[in-house]
Amino acid sequence: MANLDLLNEMQRRAVLQTEGPVLILAGAGSGKTRVITNRIAYLIEECGVNPWNIMAITFTNKAAGEMRERVDDMVGFGSESIWVSTFHSSCVKILRRYIDRLGYENSFTIYDTDDQKSVMKDVCKKLQIDTKNLKEKTILGYISSAKNEMISPAKFATENATDYHMSKVAMAYKEYQETLKKSNALDFDDLLVLTVELFEQCPDVLDYYQERFKYIMVDEYQDTNTVQFRLISLLADKYKNLCVVGDDDQSIYKFRGANIRNILDFERVFPETTVIKLEQNYRSTGNILDAANEVIKNNFGRKSKSLWTDKEEGELLTLKTFDNGFEEAEYIARDIRQGVSSGEFSYSDHACLYRTNAQSRLIEEKLIQNNVPYKLIGGVNFYQRKEVKDMLAYLKTIDNGRDDVAVKRIINVPKRGIGATSLNRVEDYAASNDLTFFEALMDCERIPGLGKAVTKINEFVNFIRVQRSKLGYNSLKEILESIMDGTGYIEELKTENTEESLARVENVEELLSKVVTYEESTDEPTLAGFLEEVALIADIDNLESGSDYVVLMTIHSAKGLEFPKVYLPGMEDGLFPSYMCINSDDPTDIEEERRLAYVAITRAMKKLTMTCARARMLRGETQYNKMSRFIKEIPGHLVDKGQSTGRSTVGAGSFGGFGTQPRTGAPTTASSGFGGMSAADLFKSNAFDKPKSTVKPDNSMSMLVKGNQMSKADGLDYGPGDRVKHIKFGVGTVVSTEDAGRDYEVLVNFDTVGPKKMFASFAKLKKI
């Protein structure tokens, strides 16, 4: 039964506005699910609407299940007739009944991701498409995007006729669709596209469902794509009783095809729209909401609204700045432990939300070291991720080759064309001769029946031997880089060019940073020592038992959730917002990043801590980034700017923002230097000022190292203005040298890669 007394004024208005198109702009934590369920109950009880005529649609099975449960509890008898479903499930029901109108049999098969890959593999083989240059998964990504925009194979071919690369995709798209139809099969995108096609080609079918669904409600409307918008528009076209609920400020799935214009242009498409704003927030304190409002108002492409609460102002937001990412992670782990020890919070009250999955590695390690239980949501432990395990398997094989599991894991990663039959023969030979699997591979020419596989096996064995010969001469970082490049592993992931593959690249690069950290903080670094350290860190099964644990997850995964205490690490330009968005030609990219920041801030109920680092190791290189522009958009009176009591941290004011002059410096990579800044500009900008530290740093710092390998150089035979040569970066000019106590810090402007700052004893620069 609907209970309007439990609703605020705007929520009641949303429930009572039953006729015509309605746009409910539901801000974060504003109780939108309560509105939807009460609206359904009100339609049935007070308006006399038959439950059969109501459709409630959302995105995930979980959300649909929760909505169904709430509707059943509230409506009671007759609720089973209400159509509560996801977009895809709704389309399956419709197509099972009417898809024969489109030339399919009603008993069609739905292909999952693996099925799609198998079909595309055959398609590429038939069309002689080189999958080394154009991956099957990449082609499927293009096809999915085209279907989301309702672009047919013929139209796709016309639009890409002059592009050689995309014309190949067009050929594959056409062949792929023909193959599916011959098999009477649909992929998930087809479910939506063919339902729209059915409605457009068969007016009687459309009319049947328009009569069936006289009242339609759509949740999370900001996440709809073009084909979903068309589907809903067709269904609602007769009676116009369409109520959509969403928040344009939380539209963060552009990479999945979400079209924010669907919600921004709703009134234009449906001119008689009633707009209702749910702005009262029941989740967060006043200061957190004020910060979120101040950040998001910098976006131009949005509906005007402002969250408010009748709760107390609460604590100020906390901002901590650190010398590096290690101290940042250490602070988070210790602060969580302290909050739990004081009895103020439980572990499960805490969430650490980050922009990219690769950021979890340092935080995981510090939580383990501080005996803090945690669980990754929507992901797996860093050292259990496929790409990380692949690289570690290569390193294990290089270390001794006796780990059969590791060797078997990588023998065909990336694919080398060594078939299962050949590998079974190698395994049988190993067992018969009491050899390890790798020893059998080395003896492959004696194994009968291998044929052409012998050449491919020898190539693998020789690659491992070459890498093994480098031990003791090359750094572990150089060996891992050689694996990444020599196998083509990274190149293959980059060519795939999907959200998942690029995230996997970031994870491998984070492992590279771990290698560098290990080498810099160990007296006598060895490959065996590194693998041993990783093995100890990776063994965290005992920490994930029970329900009281800290949650680690990406901000994208956190949408819709809430936590009493939230940490946002890595708040730096180049990380969040991402470097790609900062340098994008599309201004809407940075707006999507700002919406992501808004989502992150509004996950916090009581306390929000934002952290950033002056220097952070990314891809094995130390980078110097400015504080995130999103932090600088928060007014100073909302943030605790006092002197930090954490390890090696300072107040907000000394790192830029809040009425102070920001520190300058842009992200640097091995290939691009510091975002185009000259060495002179960097030097003048004080981007490399030595950070003040209240506590002597420990040996976990990537910037301070020990041991014979990195002992302080006995004076320098070069100085500012001299030309020097580096083994990797080539020739450059020394900009400055500075005595850093344990070593000399040298800033060099290299001719090819720009400015680099390094320790003299590690750089081994030669004056020329």
Which DSSP string do the residues of 233-299 spell out, in sequence order?
Answer: HHHHTTT--EEEEE-GGG---GGGT--THHHHTHHHHSTTPEEEEE-B-SSS-HHHHHHHHHHHTT-
Instruction: For residue range 20-71, list pLDDT tens digits in order.
Output: 999 999 999 999 888 998 999 899 988 999 989 999 998 877 788 888 888 8
Phi-psi region of 318 (alpha: psi -120 to 50; beta: other; left: phi over 0): beta
Residue 219 annotated as catalytic: yes
pLDDT band at 741 (very low <50, low <70, confident <90, very high): low
Nearest to 528 by CA among 585, 604, 471: 471
- Token digits for 140? 């499927």
Cα distance between residue 55 and residue 77, in whole Å: 17
How far CA 747 is from CA of 203, 524, 663, 684, 702, in Å, comes to 72, 26, 18, 12, 17
HSE-CB for 104 with a 13 A CA cutoff: 26
Mean pLDDT, residues 71-80 taken together: 78
pLDDT band at 547 (very low <50, low <70, confident <90, very high): confident
User: Cis peptide before 577, with omega less than 30 degrees from 0?
Assistant: yes
Query: Residue type at 520?
Result: E
Our measurement of the distance from residue 32's CA atom to the centroid of its chain's CA atoms, rounded to an integer in Å, reads 26
Predicted TM-score (pTM) of the model is 0.71
Residue 187 annotated as catalytic: no
Concatenated DSSP letters of 387-410? HHHHHHHHHHHHHTS--HHHHHHH
Cα distance between residue 631 and residue 649, in whole Å: 17
pLDDT band at 700 (very low <50, low <70, confident <90, very high): very low
- Return the residue matching tokens 């052409």: 452
3-class SS of residue 459? helix
Residue 32 annotated as catalytic: yes
Instruction: For residue range 612-662, list pLDDT tens digits in order.
Output: 999 998 877 888 889 999 999 999 999 996 544 333 333 333 333 333 333
Concatenated DSSP letters of 45-56? HTS---GGGEEE
Cα distance between residue 720 and residue 702, in whole Å: 25
3-class SS of residue 451? coil
Q: Which neighbouring-strand residues pair with 326?
A: none
**Mean pLDDT rounded to a whole number for the chain:** 83
How far CA 321 is from CA of 206, 234, 640, 650, 654, in Å, comes to 58, 52, 12, 6, 9
pLDDT of 493 higher than 90: no
- Return the residue matching tokens 């499960």: 348
- Give the active site residue among 220, 223, 248, 328: 220
Cα distance between residue 78 and residue 50, in whole Å: 9
3-class SS of residue 702? coil
What is the per-residue pLDDT for 692?
Answer: 32
Cα distance between residue 504 and residue 520, in whole Å: 25
Concatenated DSSP letters of 281-316? -SSS-HHHHHHHHHHHTT-SSS-----B-SS---SP
**CA pseudo-torsion sign 424, 426, 428, 430:** negative
- Give the active site residue among 32, 214, 629, 647: 32
Mean pLDDT, residues 259-263 taken together: 92
pLDDT of 95 higher than 60: yes
3-class SS of residue 551? strand
Cα distance between residue 673 and residue 670, in whole Å: 6
Question: Which residues touch 469 (CB under 8 Å, ≥6 apart)?
Answer: none
Cα distance between residue 137 and residue 498, in whole Å: 8
What is the per-residue pLDDT for 1?
Answer: 65
User: Cis peptide before 414, with omega less than 30 degrees from 0?
Assistant: yes
How many other β-carbons are positioned within 10 Å of the β-carbon of residue 159? 13
3-class SS of residue 578? strand
Cα distance between residue 127 and residue 459, in whole Å: 29
pLDDT of 672 higher than 70: no
pLDDT band at 685 (very low <50, low <70, confident <90, very high): very low
Do 217 and 40 meet the contact criterion of CB atoms below 8 Å apart?
A: yes
- Give the active site residue among 361, 366, 559, 603: 603
pLDDT of 693 higher than 70: no
Our measurement of the distance from residue 269's CA atom to the centroid of its chain's CA atoms, rounded to an integer in Å, reads 33
**Which of the 8 DSSP states describes residue 622?**
E
Instruction: For residue range 269-321, list pLDDT tens digits in order.
Output: 998 999 999 999 999 999 999 999 999 999 998 999 999 999 999 999 999 99
Residue 33 annotated as catalytic: yes
Cα distance between residue 483 and residue 487, in whole Å: 6
3-class SS of residue 323? strand
Query: Largest Cα–Cα distance in the chain?
Result: 90
- Token digits for 751? 């001719």
3-class SS of residue 142? helix
Cα distance between residue 524 and residue 626, in whole Å: 34
Cα distance between residue 191 and residue 506, in whole Å: 33
Cα distance between residue 556 and residue 378, in whole Å: 10
- Token digits for 407? 């060797």
- Give the active site residue among 250, 467, 522, 649: 250
Instruction: For residue range 188-223, list pLDDT tens digits in order.
Output: 899 999 999 999 999 999 999 999 999 999 999 999
Cα distance between residue 653 and residue 267, in whole Å: 44
Nearest to 430 by CA among 422, 421, 439: 439
Q: Which neighbouring-strand residues pair with 567?
A: 352, 609
- Give the active site residue among 219, 249, 591, 743: 219
Alpha helices in 403-498 (DSSP H): 404-410, 420-432, 437-442, 453-469, 476-486, 489-496
pLDDT of 712 higher than 80: no
Report the relative pairing of strands 621-624 and 604-618 from DSSP bridges.
antiparallel
What is the per-residue pLDDT for 656?
Answer: 37
Q: Which neighbouring-strand residues pair with 673?
A: 669
Instruction: For residue range 320-330, list pLDDT tens digits in order.
Output: 999 999 999 99
Do 322 and 648 meet the contact criterion of CB atoms below 8 Å apart?
A: yes
Nearest to 309 by CA among 334, 278, 344, 335: 278
pLDDT of 663 higher than 50: no
Concatenated DSSP letters of 35-101? HHHHHHHHHHHTS---GGGEEEEESSHHHHHHHHHHHHHHH-TTGGGSEEEEHHHHHHHHHHHHGGG
Q: Which neighbouring-strand residues pair with 441?
A: none
Of residues 704 and 366, more confidence is placed in: 366
pLDDT of 480 higher than 80: yes
What is the per-residue pLDDT for 635?
Answer: 94
- Return the residue matching tokens 């080395």: 442
Report the relative pairing of strands 639-640 and 317-324 from DSSP bridges.
parallel
Concatenated DSSP letters of 716-756? -S--TT-EEEETTTEEEEEEEEEE-SSSEEEEEEETTTEEE
- Give the active site residue among 13, 17, 18, 33: 33
